[in-house]
């Protein structure tokens, strides 16, 4: 897919049903509607982006939202909180574009460090973050439930946009 076949925009509350459906399809312990709504409307640190297919390339009755990314900017630190791409749309640059846009916004706000936690078994996400320039900096044993699993801590410090982004 060419980068021009999707675009990234801030999420709005009317997108919640599509975001929730994607969240539930992608995670074994999905965020609830309330949790997503709180990030969208009540959290002063939270930013929420969605990737949408342009109208002409959306097949009828398919949801428009193909990915989303929730992240926090807390003073000098950017925290990646939640990222997902519709399964049928993976390996086309959508996840990378969503994280890159967050890094770009972080740089605009003088962020110096980006951090995240990821399930140790999540090879796709770990590859994506490594591909973008994050380094593994630690491990939190048995951090996740359902199933119980270690979290790998990754960091980018200073923030750098990878070439081509
Ligand atoms: C992780 C996830 C968001 C990646 O999204 P994506 O749109 O497929 O990622 P991209 O297409 O931008 O991938 C960019 C690069 O990341 C790496 N990568 C991504 N998925 C990969 C995979 N399954 N295997 C190996 N490398 C992978 C590759 O280097 C890839 O570049 P390439 O395709 O040119 O080789 C997606 O797989 C997903 O939604 N997974 C389920 C939810 C999840 O795990 N979220 C992350 C929680 S921390």
Compute, in angstroms, the gap from residue 128 CA to the centroid of ligand 1.
Answer: 5
Domain 3-112: CATH superfamily is Gcn5-related N-acetyltransferase (GNAT) (3.40.630.30)
Task: Please list the ranges in the chain whose pLDDT falls under 50.
Answer: 1-3, 62-63
Residue 98 in contact with ligand 1 by CB distance below 6 A: no
Q: Output the pLDDT for position 125.
A: 98
Sign (positive or negative) of CA dihedral 100, 104, 106, 107: positive
- Evaluate the omega torsion of the peptide bond into residue 31 and state whether it is cis, within 30 degrees of 0: no
Tell me if 126 CB under 6 Å of ligand 1.
Answer: no
Which of 91, 120, 122, 123 most suits a substitution to test ligand 1, by most atoms within 8 Å of the C-beta?
A: 91
Closest protein CA for atom 24 of ligand 1 = 124
Beta strands in the chain, from DSSP E residues, in sequence order: 6-10, 46-53, 65-74, 77-85, 113-119, 135-144, 149-156
Structure-token pair, residue 100: 């890159």
pLDDT digits (tens, 9 = 90+) for 113-129: 999 999 999 999 999 99
Which of 103, 115, 123, 125 for mutating ligand 1's site (highest number of atoms within 8 Å of CB)? Answer: 125
Q: Is the pTM of this model over 0.75?
A: yes
Rounded distance from Cα 93 to ligand 1 centre (Å) = 8
Which amino acid residue places its CA nearest to atom 17 of ligand 1? 128
Q: Which residue has the tokens 């994607």?
A: 22
Q: Whose CA is nearest to atom 30 of ligand 1?
A: 128
Q: Name the residue at shortest CA distance from atom 40 of ligand 1.
A: 84
Digit-coded pLDDT (tens) for 84-98: 999 999 999 999 999
């Amino acid at each position: 897919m060419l980068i021009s076949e999707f675009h990234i925009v801030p999420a709005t509350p009317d997108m919640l049903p599509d975001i929730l459906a994607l969240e539930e399809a992608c995670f074994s312990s999905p965020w609830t509607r309330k949790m997503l709504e709180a990030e969208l409307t009540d959290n002063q640190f939270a930013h929420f982006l969605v990737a949408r297919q342009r109208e002409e390339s959306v097949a009828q009755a398919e949801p428009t939202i193909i990915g989303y990314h929730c992240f926090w900017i807390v003073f000098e630190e950017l925290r990646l909180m939640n990222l997902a791409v519709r399964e049928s749309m993976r390996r086309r640059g959508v996840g990378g574009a969503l994280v890159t846009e967050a890094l770009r916004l972080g740089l605009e706000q003088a962020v110096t460090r980006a951090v995240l936690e990821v399930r140790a078994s999540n090879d796709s996400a770990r590859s994506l973050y490594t591909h973008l320039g994050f380094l593994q900096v630690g491990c939190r044993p048995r951090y996740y439930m359902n199933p119980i699993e270690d979290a790998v801590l990754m960091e980018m410090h200073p923030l750098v946009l990878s070439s081509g982004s």
